[in-house]
Amino acid sequence: MKQNVKRLRRRIVVDEYTTISSVWAVPAHFQPGLTDALILAHGAGNDMTNPFLSFVHESLAAEGWLTIKFNFPYKEQGKAAPDPPAKLERAFKAVLIIARQSRLKPRRVFIGGKSMGGRIASHLAAQGEDVAGLVLLGYPLHPPSRPTQLRSVHLKEIACPMLFISGTRDAFCQLTLLEQILKELSTSATLHVVEGADHSFVVPKQLGRTTKDVWQEIVRVTATWLKQV
């Protein structure tokens, strides 16, 4: 049963020079200490108001998870170019710390995000951050047209379960490469393929599917995976 969702806005201090915005979607039946949380980060060219990220954020909260989205510092400051990886990681970790320390006290915390946001989440997991799992939406395995420049070495250091959701037309992720990499991992890695979808999960009109159809599929797959984990 879908739950009503309460939205809380919170400023998060990253360091003495940096604060960022976040939105917490709290399901009506949320129980501190008994309900899991999912922190989602945006992609490089967007911020936390991105329609796709917001849809996933709201929909998973309606399914019963505390979901949190936030801005990386460069977007908070109105900049176009992403911050260096270390600064992105510090911001993500600050949100993770606040989530654990908050009065909501989630039982377990999953992390992930769209494209770059998911990649930064995977860096934290590879560095040993204690998280329940990773939700990677459109993981940017390599730059477009450069499949030899893989961003996958650190995945072997991750101990928690991972969910990858990728489209068959994603220029940032050659699926045959991703499938081979996932086979070589020692931890559980699930791949869900969205037929015809590009990196933004847009599908051609001739497939007869709406944007909402695709987004709902992604939410459904993510919710099922979270329950199984």
Number of H helices, E strands in the chain: 6, 8
Q: How far apart are CA 106 and CA 99, in angstroms?
A: 7
Q: pTM of the prediction? A: 0.97
pLDDT above 90: residue 227: yes
Q: How far apart are CA 38 and CA 222, in angstroms?
A: 11
What is the DSSP secondary-structure string of 46-80?
--TT-HHHHHHHHHHHHTT-EEEEE--HHHHTT-S
Note the pLDDT tens digit of each residue in 13-72.
999 999 999 999 999 999 999 999 999 999 999 999 999 999 999 999 999 999 999 999
Residues contacting 37, CB < 8 A, separation 6+: 65, 66, 67, 68, 99, 104, 106, 108, 109, 110
- Across 143-161, average pLDDT: 96
pLDDT above 90: residue 159: yes
Q: How far apart are CA 65 and CA 104, in angstroms?
A: 12
